[in-house]
Amino acid sequence: MIAIAPLDQALTFARSREGSDARLIAVRACAEGRVKGIDITGLATWGDDPISVFNRLGYERIKVEVESSIAAVDVPEADLTLPVDLTGAHIAVGTNYREHAKESSVVGGPFLFPKMVTPTSWCAAIPASDALLDYEVELCLVPLKPIGPNDAATGGLILGNDVTDRATLLRNVDPSNPQSGKGFTSGKSATGYLPVGNMFVVPRDLKSFVAGLTLQLSVNGMERQRAPVTEWIWDLDEILRRSRARRDTSWTYWGGMARLPFTPEGAIPPRTLIMAGTPAGTIWQGLRRKDYALGAVDCLLSAFTKPIAKCVVERYIAGARRAKTYLQSGDEISIRVDHLGSLANLVTLVPHAQHLGHRSG
């Protein structure tokens, strides 16, 4: 069961597929694999999603329509699709939770990077390929309208799994300055690396609503991550402030360059995900002393023709692959958060995850 917020606290939206048509639902309950609510497809025009409907009608009009409607629906949770339409360029934050920074052996505080991938549905498969595949449960803010240079955080909320290939990330990171974010875009931007939740929630009061949320993630039924959202270091307003300060920064991204998504006027576009970071409990727990020692030996044996940092990373990657430390084909990642919804993603072996060619800036 997933608790759904009362209408005076938030509007909770979902979409289900009816043949070739999409049904728009104001969710009132979710339990035992069923979603119950009010069919509000009649409030939409062709092509509308919850963001379009909300922008046209507003909170109170939708609330009144839901309270007075008799168009009740009861659909299998498995029929839910992407609840909203989203862009392919997003703002992400690294080590925004102290315990995750500690387990990752990263000091110096949070940092930003762009994530360049089109989100997939709450039940989409995650491609395994030859990656060191890791999970990260995250709260994501979605602007309903452009967030201007002086605007406070506002919008709707959705869950996200910031899937990561640790091998690619480690091979591209700057070990002397991880806060640069170098390597993070490449390691986190392959097809299927951003499944999002089955519900989209627009709170009446964003700050008070977020204060009551607890992130949770399990793998094969065993809990790996759990923390209140507000254990973060940067809150949403601070993430916006820091992002504006780095709007002209470029990150290397698979032979090209990527930037944080901003309009020429300095606004964050609607339907962008502003990903607020993940708590402790990821598979990645930093490099081990053994990796440093063996990497130093490899560097010595190469007559110092290979950089020691590269040797250490390759030792870690080889060891993690032998031990099957990271996610394997057949593993299921489950995210369930009261008042936000859920994800259930099966890791599936594919020849290779496709790195996207999307560029920004």
Spatial separation of the C-alpha atoms in residues 204 and 54, rounded to whole Å: 12
What CA–CA distance (Å, rounded) separates 130 from 318? 11
Nearest-10 Cα torsion for 309, 311, 312, 318: 140
Burial 141-163 (b: 16+ CB within 10 A, else e): bbbbbbbeeeeebbbbbbbbbbb
In whole angstroms, give the CA distance from residue 3 to residue 336: 10
Below-50 pLDDT ranges, the chain: 357-361
Instruction: Please name the residues in contact with 145: beta carbons below 8 A apart, sequence gap of 6 or more.
Output: 55, 270
Looking at residue 361, its pLDDT comes to 34
Give 294-349 pLDDT, tens digit per residue: 777 777 777 667 777 888 888 899 999 999 999 999 999 999 999 999 999 999 98
The answer to whether the CB of 160 falls within 8 A of the CB of 307 is: no
- pLDDT given for residue 354 in this prediction: 60
Q: Determine the residue type at 202.
A: V
Q: DSSP string covering 235-254, please?
A: -HHHHHHHHHHTTT--EEET
11 DSSP β-pair partners:
202
Question: Which structural domains are found in the chain, ordered by start?
Answer: 10-79 (no CATH), 90-283+326-348 (3.90.850.10), 289-318 (no CATH)
Q: What is the CA radius of gyration of the chain?
A: 21
Predicted pLDDT of residue 352: 56
